[in-house]
């Protein structure tokens, strides 16, 4: 069962947390459905593990064949490896992904399947209509992918952050929004130290994020953050050393 993150006046956001929660060898991940009136879009629909379950679970809220847009934060397997099947399911949905990956994602598909259906998002980001609402593709490069976007929904004031804000929890625990950051940091820290590229990037992001009214930060792995946890997360991530900040000679030694 998905959780309803928002539902008001014909605009709703759903989060699926437990579609490929097999424990152990697969990282828990979230998929998202945005419905505005009679228009539907998905964000980070996942890989082949999630496809059938997401398709079925979604039918209660929106007919999957009628989706008009597929948003991908970046090009990793848990984000978009199911693209071939979504291209078939939806006759004409466009896939929005960084221009850096525009010519890479066709590798997930059978020849010709993506022709004319990939929209490369420029580095500066863009605004994309979803029914009468819009999603803002926000630059989030190097967090962690080189060409990376987050999706901000001004109607629900939800920021879908992709890998930023990810926590390592079970599909069930991912359903429970975190309202205070302190106890949550241990579930996020190791991931961010290794998967985020540098503190400079995190500081630039924090500056941008503070300019937006954000009610909820919803990552692609783990639990959403809301209430006080939103600003606490921005402050925490802003000061976190990570990625190249922590790399040294010892990390580039030829294995014995």
Cβ nearer to Fe ion, comparing 76 with 153: 76
**Nearest distance, CB of residue 43 and Fe ion, angstroms:** 14
Q: Give the chain as a 3 state SS string.
A: CCEEEEEECCEEEEEECCCCCCCCCCCCCCEEEEEECCEEEEECCCCHHHHHHHHHHHCCCCCHHHCCEEECCCCCHHHHCCHHHHHHHCCCCEEEEECCCCCCHHHHCCCCCCCCCEEEECCCCEEEEECCEEEEEEECCCCCCCCCEEEEECCCCEEEEECCCCCCCCCCHHHCCECCCHHHHHHCHHHHHHHCCCHHHHHHHHHHHCCCCCCEEEECCCCCEECHHHHHHHHHHHCCCCHHHCCCHHHHCCCC
Cβ nearer to Fe ion, comparing 36 with 78: 78
Of all residues in this chain, which one has the CB nearest to Fe ion in the complex?
76
**Nearest distance, CB of residue 72 and Fe ion, angstroms:** 10
73-132 positions binding Fe ion, by CB under 5 A:
76
**Nearest distance, CB of residue 47 and Fe ion, angstroms:** 11
Cβ nearer to Fe ion, comparing 21 with 76: 76
Query: Using the rule CB under 5 A, is 44 a contact of Fe ion?
Result: no
**Nearest distance, CB of residue 96 and Fe ion, angstroms:** 16
59-78 positions binding Fe ion, by CB under 5 A:
76
Cβ nearer to Fe ion, comparing 114 with 161: 161
**Nearest distance, CB of residue 139 and Fe ion, angstroms:** 16
Cβ nearer to Fe ion, comparing 76 with 102: 76
Q: How many residues bind Fe ion (CB under 5 A)?
A: 1
Binding site for Fe ion (CB under 5 A): 76
């Amino acid at each position: 069962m998905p959780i309803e993150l928002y539902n008001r006046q014909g605009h709703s956001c759903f989060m699926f947390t437990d579609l490929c929660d097999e424990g152990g060898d697969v990282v828990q991940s979230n998929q998202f459905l945005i419905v505005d009136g009679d228009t539907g879009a998905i964000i980070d629909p996942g890989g082949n593990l999630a496809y059938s379950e997401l398709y079925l679970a979604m039918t209660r809220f929106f007919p999957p064949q009628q989706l008009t847009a597929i948003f991908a934060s970046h090009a990793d397997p848990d984000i978009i490896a199911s693209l071939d099947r979504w291209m078939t399911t939806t006759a004409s949905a466009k896939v929005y992904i960084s221009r850096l990956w525009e010519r890479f994602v066709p590798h997930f598909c059978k020849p010709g399947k993506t022709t004319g259906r990939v929209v490369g998002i420029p580095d500066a980001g863009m605004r994309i209509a979803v029914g009468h609402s819009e999603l803002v593709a926000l630059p989030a490069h190097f967090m962690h992918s080189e060409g990376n976007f987050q999706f901000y929904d001004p109607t629900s004031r939800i920021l879908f952050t992709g890998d930023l804000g990810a926590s390592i929890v079970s599909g069930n625990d991912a359903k429970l929004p975190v309202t205070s950051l302190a106890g949550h940091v241990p579930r996020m820290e190791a991931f961010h130290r290794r998967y985020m590229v540098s503190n400079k990037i995190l500081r630039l992001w924090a500056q941008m994020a503070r300019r937006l009214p954000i009610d909820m930060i919803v990552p692609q792995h783990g639990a959403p953050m809301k209430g006080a946890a939103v600003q606490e997360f921005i402050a925490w991530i802003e000061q976190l050393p990570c990625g190249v900040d922590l790399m040294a000679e010892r990390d580039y030694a030829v294995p014995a």
